[in-house]
Amino acid sequence: MLIVANWKAYVEDSAKAGKIFSASKRLAKTGAGTIVLAPPAPLLGALAARNKSPVAFAAQDVSATTGGAKTGEITAQTYAAAGATYAIIGHSERRATGDTDAIIAEKLSHALAHGLTPILCIGEKERDGGGRYLAFVREELTRAIEPLTPKERGKIIIAYEPIWAIGKTAENAIGPNDLAEMVLYIRKVIAELLPGRSSLHSLVLYGGSVEVANVRMLAASSGVDGFLIGRASVDPNIFPSLVKQLR
């Protein structure tokens, strides 16, 4: 299982960052899957610089630019140099501040150019009875990865994060049957976008109110390859118990 901890702006100091990092290193030693931490940029730089463990690091976003006179931007190249090997791209909280499909496609290609594995977030705002959310997810995924070459498309990890389930509690998260349906559907869409290639190797993660209370049930029968976890990943006591549910 791939477990991506999206710290968002929940972690703001190195003492707390250090505690979660230490807990993650202990977890990684127990063979609890691949653990990827996505701290805010300066904390990522500090932790990754002294990392000798199997814990990996992800940028929470990368710039759509490639450097130069761009105050405040952090490029994919900078993240790679700082020790990140993954990049979350297209998170709904970034889309809400202006990331369009075109910007997301740019970011994906910059991440790939610098050896970062993109974790592309997609997901509908709400569920309707008529199944329009399926068409929405298909279009969002297609628009993001269509500009890439087939080889590049095959390197992308998809994180299905329905917006209605983000930042709530386990009772509001998706159920295992609905998740299984969506994972299958996403695999089908990816297979169409990777002509002649198998989609079996494209990892599909789920994110949105994953907690100790629901993670085992969601993993059991849905076919997901892992989870993107926000709030429950920033408590150094809760995160290890959550990950241990997956053993």
Which residues are marked as active site?
A: 91, 161
- Surface-to-core class of residue 44, CB atoms within 10 Å of its CB (0-12 exposed, 13-18 middle, 19+ buried): buried
d(CA 93, CA 14): 23
d(CA 51, CA 8): 20
User: Residue 197's Cα: distance from chain center in Å?
Assistant: 23
User: Residue 14's Cα: distance from chain center in Å?
Assistant: 22
Smallest distance from ligand PGA to CB 240, Å: 16
For CA atoms 176, 101, 116, 25, the dihedral sign is: negative
Smallest distance from ligand PGA to CB 234, Å: 9
Contact between residue 137 and residue 186 where contact means Cβ atoms under 8 Å apart: yes
Closest CB to ligand PGA among 144 and 228? 228
Place of tokens 């910059």: 110
Residue sitting closest to ligand PGA (CB): 230
Smallest distance from ligand PGA to CB 34, Å: 17
Strand, helix or coil at 113? Answer: helix
Residues touching ligand PGA, count (CB under 6 A): 13
**Within 202-231, which residues bind ligand PGA (CB under 6 A)?**
207-210, 228-231
Closest CB to ligand PGA among 45 and 230? 230
The answer to whether 166 contacts ligand PGA (rule: CB under 6 A) is yes
Closest CB to ligand PGA among 64 and 210? 210
Closest CB to ligand PGA among 186 and 193? 186
Instruction: Map residues 47-86 to x or -, x wherever contact with ligand PGA holds by CB under 6 A.
Output: ----------------------------------------
d(CA 24, CA 123): 27
The answer to whether 161 contacts ligand PGA (rule: CB under 6 A) is yes
Closest CB to ligand PGA among 38 and 64? 38
Smallest distance from ligand PGA to CB 195, Å: 30
Contact between residue 233 and residue 209 where contact means Cβ atoms under 8 Å apart: no
Strand, helix or coil at 17? Answer: helix
The correct pick among 167, 198, 216, 221 for binding ligand PGA (CB under 6 A) is 167
Strand, helix or coil at 229? Answer: strand
- Where do contacts with ligand PGA occur on this chain (CB under 6 A)? 6, 161, 166-167, 207-210, 228-232
